[in-house]
Chains A and B, each alone.
Chain A
């Protein structure tokens, strides 16, 4: 094995007497229990075994491994001292690279993203096709009303597709960390990078980036496809249509937010079943269970992602006894995303792994 980053701190008195005198070079070779016996006290005159690159001469086949204080061993000093490691400055982007490799090297990642994207786009396109097939508007006035009522935008990304996307992305986010806990890989990960919070931050960031791209693709493709189908009835709208970009954006961003929620739950619960149930409750059950029946119910309901999405994509929303603003709904997105990321990052710090 080439010794790329270890160097000998030769010349310093060895930290402990038995090591100092023990002729290391032959101790392992004997196999008999002689190491550590009294003869260890006699100083060895011999130089370290020639085959030990770590001792004395630092090998410099990696740039930057040469350290100025790696002096030559003085005569009579132990052949093998304590090695110290060359440690380059820790960079966060290395962890991003590591997490990205982990993510893309799993076939299941691609299957999960592919299947979810197909399901979401197919559901939206299917709804659009339904409208296309059962077209009732005969004149241009009807078509104008159709567009004015915001139906093309409502078709661009419907609630069923959204719920499926939220749940699937929650699972994808959760599995990014549960996959490590379930297989024990987490120990390998944290033994390699003891800065656990940095690892989790890198994981969260990679997940956010990938799922944002995913969300943009799913929402963008859904919009393009649905409007193309509606165009067959001359009722599609372009992305420049008022509110269109908002629909695409709100739907796309729910992908990373849901994924972060899944990752946070997975990090805290470390168990697939518990995580999936909790994610289902938080993402789908709560927003349906808490309607505008009373003030506090409305507050809870408005704090859910699904209701926030509805508030944002809605065109000419129905009057509610508890109205709220679209920017309030965007804030709900941000709070969920941030809270989830923070929870995922800090919860690994204290607990045993």
Chain B
């Protein structure tokens, strides 16, 4: 479990992260979302004790991470796939990490097999593609078999097969009872990966809730209706409490279900040639909420 409490980080005059409070629970995949520059990486570095918070606290498993003498058995992390020395082989890189944390040598081979890098184990990392480096980073995160795992943009550079593999892996890790915290700037990546979301914008918390709750916060879903008698239909729908607006010759109706609209049109004998429900995407919810935060921080003008 990761507990972030009132976390603030200032670099000189700029505030990268402001009064962030949220909890990441074990047993699920929690997505950490925000546009580029929202303060995700800064937050992750503070969780890992690499950066000192200006104020506030962050604990992993009840203790600040920096208090622990060795980290890999507590938290496995992949902050940046490029945070490796290109001159070493994958095997040497992992062996050095394992040795420092008193992790048996065979774990190195195990994680290399797990991420599919056995054949590249004795090649120098400098020649790796980004996707291979991501796999190596994931291997190092898994090395200590930790209860908490943190990944910063792990899907970058992975091919579709790799993306699917990573998603399955995250779900499995969460199902094993681990805390899995994954950052991304793309909502679409999280849609099929995360159960919970922590959303930040401009360093401030926007939402910390389940994926379902989050998507409900965006524009409510609406129903598109096409009819040759729209002028007659409009007042009937608004009388039922719906909000309507014209959109490309169709009527966008919010506040009524498609079934209810069907009943109304049938009762009044209004011909309908189009009736479709349109769910708001998470992407829209995300854009809307982060745009709000940007507007708020810019001083209320847009």
Contacts and interface: CB of A to CB of B under 8 A. Distances in A.
Interface of A: 1-6, 8, 15-16, 18-19, 22, 24-25, 27-29, 31, 33-37, 48-49, 51-55, 62, 80-88, 90-91, 94-95, 97-99, 101-102, 105-108, 179-180, 183-188, 190-195, 198-199, 350, 352-353
A191 B175 contact: no
Given A54-B177, A91-B102, A193-B100, A28 B83 contact: no
Nearest to A37: B212
Contact of B212 (A36, A80, A86): A36
Interface in B248-271: none
A50 B73 CA distance: 23
B79 A187 contact: yes
Interface in B214-249: 214-215
Contacts of A36: 195-196, 209-213
- Which 3 pairs across A and B sit closest by C-beta, in order of nearness? A36-B210, A98-B100, A33-B212
Interface stretch (B86-94, B155-163, B198-206, B292-300): B86-94
Contacts of A25: 175
Contacts of B49: 190-191, 194
Contacts of A53: 176
Contacts of B87: 105-108
Given A6-B147, A98-B97, A198-B69, A85 B50 contact: no
A34 B212 contact: yes
A29 B68 CA distance: 34
A15 B61 CA distance: 11
Contacts of A90: 69-70, 102
Contacts of B56: none
A88 B71 CA distance: 11
Nearest to A188: B83
Nearest to A87: B73
B147 A98 contact: no
A85 B146 contact: yes
B212 A97 contact: no
B121 interface: no
B74 interface: yes
B291 interface: no
B50 A352 contact: yes
Interface in B71-114: 71-75, 77, 79-80, 82-89, 92-93, 95-97, 99-102, 104, 107, 110, 114
Contacts of B147: 6, 82-85
A98 B95 CA distance: 8
B151 interface: no
A24 B83 contact: no
A41 to B, nearest CB: 13
Nearest to B51: A352
Given A193-B71, A353-B51, A185 B107 contact: no
B205 to A, nearest CB: 17
Contacts of B189: none
A192 B71 contact: yes
Nearest to B70: A90
A67 to B, nearest CB: 13
B48 interface: yes
B145 interface: yes
A190 B50 contact: yes
A58 to B, nearest CB: 12
Given A82-B1, A85-B74, A191-B71, A94 B50 contact: no
Most buried by A among B84, B179, B195: B195
B4 interface: no
B178 interface: yes
A28 B29 contact: yes
B254 to A, nearest CB: 20
B115 to A, nearest CB: 10
Contacts of A353: 45, 50-51
Contacts of A184: 80, 82-84
Given A2-B110, A98-B100, A35 B177 contact: no
Given A97-B99, A98-B96, A187-B50, 17 more contacts: A19-B25, A22-B28, A24-B175, A27-B174, A28-B28, A28-B171, A33-B215, A35-B211, A36-B210, A37-B212, A99-B96, A99-B100, A180-B85, A183-B83, A194-B49, A195-B68, A350-B52
